[in-house]
Amino acid sequence: MRVTYLFIGIAILVLIVLLFRSENKFQFAKAGVLFVFQLTFSTVNFLIFFFITYLLMNDRKEVYLGNLFLLLAIFVILSGIFLYWGMRVAEKFIKFSVTTLTLIEYYIQWSLIYVTVYQAIFSNIARIKTITQFIRVGNFLDPNLLVVIILPSFISTWIAVILYKKHIKAI
């Protein structure tokens, strides 16, 4: 069983290296793979930062909200710097095109919009059990409803524009 996992891991690594060796092919896939790696390493960075902070602040009984916000901002900046250094090391082996990096930015923005929609839907699920109840209430100007309806349209429009820009070779 372990040999299978090892073989699958090696096969995935070989595919990733081959994927990144081609310069102008599979840019959406390259951006997706790089995005997942960056998210994974960033999450690991945050876990390490929080663990170190927990060990250092173990004797304190209270942490104020302002301090927590500032601490999170510092973690974000440090993690970004570490990811940047990792990309600088990786660029010696892998070529990052401007198109791939731009697509990663788009994936980040699309994900943030989607998470906002997800949050708007599930924060109201306890109050409103069905859409028909929501329509009967007649609260069409609720910001959460606007988020659920409008933001997915933004993502769809953005995807169409990006695909068209890729088609005309503008990115």
Q: Which residues of the chain are modeled with pLDDT < 70?
A: 1, 18-23, 59-67, 124-146, 148-149
Per-residue buried b or exposed e for 51-64, using 16+ beta carbons within 10 Å of the residue's own CB: eeeeeeeeeeeeee
**150 shares its domain with 79:** no
**61 shares its domain with 141:** no
Q: Which of 55, 76, 95 is the last residue of a domain?
A: 95
Measured distance CA(39)–CA(111) in Å, rounded: 12
Digit-coded pLDDT (tens) for 122-152:
776 666 555 565 555 556 666 666 676 677 7
Burial (CB count within 10 angstroms: exposed 0-12, middle 13-18, buried 19+), residue 48:
middle
Say which residue the tokens 């960056």 belong to.
Answer: 38
Amino acid occupying residue 169:
K
**90 shares its domain with 101:** no
pTM, two decimal places: 0.66
**62 shares its domain with 121:** no
By residue range, what is the domain housing residue 89?
1-26+33-95
**6 shares its domain with 87:** yes
Measured distance CA(58)–CA(52) in Å, rounded: 10
**63 shares its domain with 80:** yes
Helices (H), 57-142: 65-90, 98-123, 131-137
User: Residue 163's pLDDT is what?
Assistant: 76
How many folded domains does the chain comprise? 2
Q: Which of 50, 73, 95 is the last residue of a domain?
A: 95
